[in-house]
Amino acid sequence: MADLIIACLSQKGGVGKSTLARLIARTYAVSGWTTKICDFNTTQLTSTHWAKIRKDAGIEPKIDAEAYNQPTALTREDYNLIVADGRPDSDQSSLDIALRSNLVVIPTGLSLDDLQPQLAFAKELVAKGVPAERILFVLSKITDSKIAIAEARGYLAEFRVADQHLTLKHSYQKSQNHGYALSEVQGLNTARLEEVADLVAAEIVSMVTELQEAA
């Protein structure tokens, strides 16, 4: 049985759900945890393909990934950490995953086209039994507009939003194409990008610790 389940869920695609799943898995794996990404997006299998690229390239630490259809299988996995990479536009599957998870991470961009469905999705999870304190929003794949970031945080004010955010950078995208997580970004002058990714991951780890201590 898994010691910890973290879900990366989204009502829509393209906001960085799989990116966060990989970052979380790598963060725990580098600390010695056995980790697996359960990839529920069986049409695209982005995390599954990423893990294969990573394995074939010999990148350490090892991160397993596999396609999944049934959320009930999550609790039967014999890993320290399971990261559920959910399928967009799948309300029942997302709810079943969220109810079995210690933490639900929801990425969103800055536009209302992203914010509105993601906030509605979070509210729906709460209405169906997921505690609001187990939900964390992460501003992801965004620009550095301070005004837009502040407006997005205000829009999501009823939920916790990570202090750090992930900007849209070519180095992030290119590194993931080769099996790396955001905290392993490859290229010149990328130390700050790695640092920001590590800070986002640290917030997620800290929130998990808080929830476990409060339980």
Across the chain, what does the average pLDDT equal? Answer: 95
Beta strand pairing status for 166-167 and 135-142? parallel
- In this prediction, residues 123-132 reach a mean pLDDT of 97
Q: Are 6 and 105 in contact (CB under 8 A)?
A: yes
pLDDT of residue 187: 82
Parallel, antiparallel, or unpaired for β 81-85 and 4-8?
parallel
Number of domains in the chain: 1
Instruction: Enter the tokens of residue 208.
Output: 């998990």
Q: Which two tokens stand for residue 128?
A: 């169906």
The model's confidence at residue 188, banded by pLDDT at 50, 70 and 90, is confident
Q: What is the CATH classification number for the domain harbouring 35?
A: 3.40.50.300
As a whole number of angstroms, the distance between CA 90 and CA 68 comes to: 13
Residue 90 has pLDDT above 80, yes or no: no
Furthest-apart CA atoms within the chain: distance in Å: 46
Beta strands in the chain (DSSP E): 4-8, 35-39, 64-67, 81-85, 103-108, 135-142, 160-161, 166-167
pLDDT band at 25 (very low <50, low <70, confident <90, very high): very high
pLDDT digits (tens, 9 = 90+) for 92-103: 899 999 999 999
198, two tokens: 């590590």
What residue type is assigned to position 189 of the chain? Answer: N
Note the pTM of the prediction, 2 decimals.
0.96
Domain limits for position 175: 4-214
Give the pLDDT score at 112.
97
Question: 109 phi and psi, to 5 degrees?
Answer: -85, -170
Phi and psi (nearest 5°) for 96?
Answer: -60, -40
- Residue 86, both tokens: 């959910």
Give the closest residue to 196 by CA, choosing from 136, 137, 135, 141: 141
